[in-house]
Amino acid sequence: MSEFIPMSRPFIGQDEIDAVTEVLRSGWITTGSKCKEFEDRFATLTGAGYALSLSSGTGGMHLVLKALGIGKGDEVITPSMTFASTINQIALSGARPVFADIDYDTMLIKPEEIERLLSVHTKAIIPVHFAGAPADMDVIEGLAGDIPVIEDAAHAIGTMYKGGHIGSRGNIAIFSFHPIKNITTAEGGMVVGGDEAFMERLRLLRFHGIERDAWKRYGKASDPTYDIIEPGFKYNMTDIQASLGLVQMDKLEEITKRRTEIVELYIQGLSDIDGIDLPGRPTYEHRHAWHLFVVKIRSLSRHDFMEALAEANIGYGLHFPACHKLTYIRNMFGETKLPVTDELAPRILSLPLYPGMSDAQVQTVIAAVRKILG
């Protein structure tokens, strides 16, 4: 039997292992100078004024919704075709997620849907840069006016929109470093933003509300006292994670380049098949980070397609089950009709895509898909 080709695999080498080992030997393993360095590098990469490292992207969303004061009676517009973490945080805040439909080709939120759904209760808009393609921020910001736009940038490390990296527009943008993501810290996240006071509030909420970082309180001749003005949470990143992230950042261009090459091979090898629709690209200027390669199966049920891939020893992923169909969402907020999302939800599947994938492995997947779909 041929070797299993997973859907994703972190791109970890000796440099990452050495960096983590150095932190483990250093005597300081939680939030410290490595997190600070990672935040500075990330702020520079994204062109955002400020960056805050976190234990996850989900934690970042929790803090941002909290700091914006979003809660009961409020509405937050976001696509249903996203990871449930965002929707969970909206629901847990007491607000109502208001689901926008997406474009069939790109699977990005449709700005005209935002226009349709805006109300006096709208307190935030959360576009998702789905699969590494940028949402149309000029149009979305124009519709939002004074309503905060929170960019879900979990898939968008390396994504450019009209010449700027995602996060460069002054909005809050939230990145994830979960192992499937384009760069990883095992688990982790980063919130970037341009408003210094807001980012400072997030920094306090990140770590119990304590007004100074632990590593500054434990150094030589430091002041171990603290005060808390507002109680906070515990969403700090560790220096072990940040050291991994710093090495991964050095490889970001190599990672994006390889992901793009793999996608080009997929497009060459699969675009003439009738039974499948390949991901489309936005028409505006951008750089796609190709976090995911989500295909739409037309000639076979997804169940049968997945079974045949498994038989061929090929992995797959589902990004995502539509959130408006989740049981608790239906129970809490009722039914929503989203024609494109409803059509896509049962037919999408993510094919293997990771920088360590060889050309031969890509061709194996292409050959299998061609065979399965006839």
For residue 325, report the phi and psi dihedrals to the nearest 5 degrees. Answer: -100, -5
Shortest distance, CB of residue 344 to ligand PLP, whole angstroms? 15
Task: Write each residue from 147 to 176 as x if it is in contact with ligand PLP (CB under 6 A), else as -, in one continuous string.
Answer: -----x-xx--------------------x
Q: Is 178 in the site for ligand PLP (CB under 6 A)?
A: yes
Tell whether residue 131 is a contact of ligand PLP (CB under 6 A): no
Of the pair 48, 156, the CB lying nearest ligand PLP is at: 156
Q: Is 185 in the site for ligand PLP (CB under 6 A)?
A: no
Q: Which residues contact 138 (CB under 8 A, 6 or more apart)?
A: 162
In whole angstroms, the minimum distance from the beta carbon of 313 to ligand PLP comes to 25
In whole angstroms, the minimum distance from the beta carbon of 272 to ligand PLP comes to 30
Q: Judged by CB, which is closer to ligand PLP: 88, or 364?
A: 88
Residue among 34, 66, 181, 296 flagged as catalytic: 181
Q: Which is nearer to ligand PLP, 319 or 361 (CB)?
A: 319
Nearest to 77 by CA among 347, 325, 271, 323: 323
Cβ contacts of residue 332 below 8 Å, gap of 6+? 91
Give the separation between CA 102 and CA 323, rounded to whole angstroms: 13
The one-letter amino acid at 120 = V
Distance in angstroms (rounded) separating the CA atoms of residues 88 and 85:
5
**Which tokens in the block code for residue 12?**
């970890």
H-run or E-run covering 80: none
- Give first-to-last CA distance, the chain, whole Å: 22
Select the residue interacting with ligand PLP from 8, 46, 53, 56 (CB under 6 A): 56
Beta bridge partners of 317: 350
Of 5 and 54, the one with the shorter C-beta distance to ligand PLP is 54
Q: Which positions are catalytic?
A: 181
Residues engaged in binding ligand PLP (CB under 6 A) = 56-58, 82-83, 85-86, 128, 152, 154-155, 176, 178, 189
